[in-house]
Structure 1
């Protein structure tokens, strides 16, 4: 069962359309070899880049070692100029200049000697100190002045390096972050007894030029360590990323320059100053990968372009091969959405052309059937409206009301006459059956007569607001669409409400449409009922349910059937705050051809 499912999954891409098969095949042919070439080129480039980095950095490290030896040779020369001065250190008999005259004898000479050396080298040297065992005195010169102090213990012997006072001291120690000390002792030739020492505090920034030259890669690090691996100088403010195991492996091996490659990067090490110091440089593997990524990116873009060309070629081949079938398929899908303008214009002469001719014939028959059905529904709606209008004898009622009005006027009852006149105008408007379309002015006059009769019932309890925009009276709209909406305001919105009733009617032109808003301050509609009304009103005109009375659905259906599905009624309401019904129709002047 699992083998069968796997077989089906493998066959699935080839069971799709011919266009898809050609596309997949050509993409595989183009991408697979190019991908292999790209991977091989990336690995080769990475290896070549690593070799180039190693060769260039070995050369830089060797040059830096020579620079370090030269700079430290200059510092040693300063120390030798003091150590080899016979006026400062004793001869073989251990005598010094003017030693018999006390410890301060020869101080001017010593001060001048130290000052001249400091002034000549103060760019790289922070201070120079001289200790004389015979005087047990330490002389110091720096940027401030030359000073001396009594000191019984030679500073060169501190730390236990020369416990027997007969061992030569020659070392470099860390002073501060930016300085280091060069310490050298003066030993008698015969017995190696220490006669004194020189202490030079130098600035590391004298090495910054060569360190910056070594720091050729953006993410690399360059450090200066002592022979034990302790950090002597870090020119960067951030903490080093070098692996301690790699450092120990490099510094505890032979005193020779070299490098170590690892997953983290490449570590270069170079002994300097007779192996008293080490220059260490670390290049992270990200730099190597970044250099190789350029070639990889070029190969990737080349692959993408080739893939795109292959896709375009496959699409063109599939397109011209399957074009007639796809065209017929799209026409059939469009027909599902009642789009009848999808007939095939250029009919082929082969078997597919036969299908296209049959499709065009079927499309014409469907269009004819839809038009017949549409006209039938419009006629049905018109017949229903006329049947409702014919339920009473409007002529008889109109004449009777006119007679009643005349009697009321003769009996000096003008108020009764006005209400009878309004009622008779309602029926007169009903019997005008020449056209289903009237002007906005006629429909507003009909609604005004209806409201006048309602005011007879409710007196001052009801307040009517009319806001009819100028030049809107001559536009056409279906007959009897406003009075049912106003009637709903009384039946469903205002009856049962305490306080004054307000009905506001507003007519205005918005772009190419006429908007008629009928608003009341009645009880409002709850959310469930409002959603049901909106759902019913959103249906196509021919699908709405028409009751026996001329209600909202009837009005909305007539508007949609006459003007189109984008027009009709829209209801907004809040429970306890009133209801607004908006009627939207196209702005068509009376006498123009209405929309179909």
Structure 2
């Protein structure tokens, strides 16, 4: 129901433009005025947006590279803190060579270690929240934070299993996110020559030490900047508690093989830059609104300009269309009046331009129509009179056909079948003559008509005549001009057989040769003299519209109709030998009934 209503509404909108030149002209002028302006506006907006997007991409790629360098510098500073502990000869006296040995008593080492870590923490307490040191030689873990310094032999912590690190011979360098605005750098202390593990250090670092780096990247107020791990999980976001960027998008971007770069989507631009050997990623998302806001001023100005010009164009289009089409509409109204038989309309003040020429021709045509109406009226009366006379003339053949049918019925009732057979042949002959069909009939119908004619001739000549009809079955359904065979057969009697004392013979043969039908009608009559045969052949070889009517008017008529219907290559061809007989061949194309010729 809704689709039907929409279709009806659309037809109602489109219909005025289909039937009115005024509306078409108005629409065309509006399109000419508004379409180029709209395209220019769209192009300018798109170009501005593209330029802003390019500038955003270029500037942010540069910022992301600098931020990654500063991130690396910050982490290098933290690594320097851990290196300072490794280089302390009291804590690691044989870090460069030799076996690990401890200097002093355990109480001295414990106190020195706590004091050393406190000193290190105090120097870096703005950035470091906690320092933990594992000494394999003491098999103890020392932890210092803002509250106190402790020493413990419990080496397994929630984040690190120091005992397992001491038992291995592999270097360890991890960056762990603590989830409380801090992260931890965990690394093993290895002796330089053989990389044997001497201990390990863990620095719990405040993320805010990276704020200065992230502020440099956070150049747009509505952008999102955060630090993520290699799996795309958010580690630190100082600007918002919630991240609007889809996590799947971030993970897919960081998992790509290209390293740093950016991705553009309908939502905005996502920039990503690895740092700290790929352990952390600086991620920035700029919504597309930032770019569109930059182009909004150009867009607003363009839209206002386009709207103003569109209003002016529409007003001018309406005015011009009204003035231009007013004489056309006046001429159309006059024509509509003529359609309803009002011939009294007349345009008294024709214009001097092309439309004026149409108006003058219309006045002239109107006068001519009035004259033609009078002529047509007279012709109609005469035509109806002729039709009445034709119908009256048609009554006679029908009456004769019915009368012959009645005579045949009486002959049968009196047991005289021969009379009925001859009467039937005459009746069928008349019926075939008056039957209202096209000019083309089937070969079978035409042969039947010829049989009826020969049946009547047998009534006259009794046993003197022998008739033979031989037709291929595939030819019977093909079409042939009506009354093509009977005139030829009639010529056999009037010009060939009469005057011959011997037995008469007529042979009709129908066969298909390639894609043509060949019908030959042969008699054993007196034949045609050579001079007269030449005249007949000359007459038949002429074009259909140039043939003359003479003694052979019947076959000339048949030949002319065949050529008009099928072409000059078809028609009648006569061969004859004096005192021996005549053969007439009728050649037509092999077209089935109903097939287009």
TM bucket (normalised to shorter chain) is 0.3 to 0.5
Greater Rg by CA:
2
- The alignment's TM-score, normalised by the length of structure 2, stands at 0.47
